[in-house]
Amino acid sequence: MQNVQEIYAAFIKNTEYLSKVAGEQRAIKRHLEEVNVNYAAFIKACEDAPKSITQEIDSIPGRRIFYNAVGVQSFTTADAGQRGQPINFLVSQDGPFIQTHYPLVVWRPSAPSNATNFGVTRPVCSWPLPDQVIDGDRVDLSYEFVSGGSQRNFQNLPAGPLFSRPDNFAPLPVPTLFSPNETIQVFLTFESIAFDTTVAEPTTEGTLQVTLPGYRIVNM
């Protein structure tokens, strides 16, 4: 009789334990279901959230290749105070061009061929020192960006000396994407031009070089 009572007591104890375990399993199952619901809602919110400009660009398929779009333009002192002709940059049909930094603009004396400062590369802003070179040759520019296809001006007024330099590439506030076959136009205004006339052979003409730093996305 005692064995029967002991077996019954053990049975009741085991039943209570199994009931407790089952309750814990049900609680765990409910918790996992809540986690799955919350996770699904989080995934949907991420999918519905607008992408940043960088994310949009990063999602474009293709190989990234560093690329510098380069254009040149000649000038003389007669151009002082004038808005020059546009320098055109045609984006390749192979894929978009992403500009990452402010334009790098430099110039060099290009005529006469025996000019004292012939071919010496110079900045295009006299701040903080005249030309950053101790001589009288200097050029100061402002510039405008225009989408050649839409004739849309990318700024309200010509920008001042917001340029990158060879020793300091200035990043844009956001990377800027230009579509395949799009024509980028840069208009330069010659705010001031001065060629040093005290040297043996003064400069009579200069050549500007405008570089748009960035990279291309191409399918290869």
Residues 115 and 171 reside in one and the same domain: yes
Q: Please indicate, yes or no, if residue 56 is contained in any of the structural domains.
A: no
DSSP string covering 119-164 = T--B-S---SSGGGSSSS-EEEEEEEEEETTTTEESSSS-B-S--B
Task: Report pLDDT digits (tens) over 92-116.
Answer: 998 999 999 999 999 999 999 999 9
The whole domain housing 19 covers 1-49
What's the confidence (pLDDT) of residue 167? 87
Residues 27 and 83 reside in one and the same domain: no
Determine the Cα–Cα distance for residues 203 and 39; give it in Å rounded to an integer: 69
Determine the Cα–Cα distance for residues 216 and 220; give it in Å rounded to an integer: 12
Residues 43 and 69 reside in one and the same domain: no
Q: Please indicate, yes or no, if residue 194 is contained in any of the structural domains.
A: yes
Prior bond of 173 cis (ω within 30°): no
- Region 128-153: mean pLDDT is 74
Provide CB contacts within 8 A for 60, sequence distance 6+: 95, 96, 217
Residues 162 and 117 reside in one and the same domain: yes
Q: Assess whether pLDDT exceeds 70 at residue 150.
A: no
Task: Report pLDDT digits (tens) over 8-31.
Answer: 566 666 777 777 777 788 888 888
Residues 45 and 72 reside in one and the same domain: no
What's the confidence (pLDDT) of residue 2? 52
Question: Nearest 5°: phi and psi at 136?
Answer: -90, -5
Q: Please indicate, yes or no, if residue 142 is contained in any of the structural domains.
A: yes
Residues 20 and 74 reside in one and the same domain: no
Around Cβ 69, how many Cβ atoms within 10 Å?
Answer: 22
Around Cβ 102, how many Cβ atoms within 10 Å?
Answer: 21
Query: Quick check: helix, strand or coil at residue 201?
Result: coil
Number of structural domains in the chain? 2
Q: Please indicate, yes or no, if residue 27 is contained in any of the structural domains.
A: yes
Residue 57 tokens, joined: 């660009």
Q: Please indicate, yes or no, if residue 55 is contained in any of the structural domains.
A: no
Prior bond of 171 cis (ω within 30°): no
Confidence band for 66, pLDDT divided at 50, 70 and 90:
very high
Residues 22 and 111 reside in one and the same domain: no
Q: Please indicate, yes or no, if residue 58 is contained in any of the structural domains.
A: no
Q: Please indicate, yes or no, if residue 121 is contained in any of the structural domains.
A: yes
Q: Please indicate, yes or no, if residue 57 is contained in any of the structural domains.
A: no
Determine the Cα–Cα distance for residues 166 and 100; give it in Å rounded to an integer: 15
Task: Report pLDDT digits (tens) over 195-220.
Answer: 988 889 999 999 999 999 999 999 86
Residues 83 and 122 reside in one and the same domain: yes
- Region 31-49: mean pLDDT is 77
Residues 106 and 208 reside in one and the same domain: yes
Residues 29 and 131 reside in one and the same domain: no
Residues 29 and 102 reside in one and the same domain: no
* Beta-bridge partners for 143: 159, 188
Residues 29 and 75 reside in one and the same domain: no
Confidence band for 46, pLDDT divided at 50, 70 and 90:
low
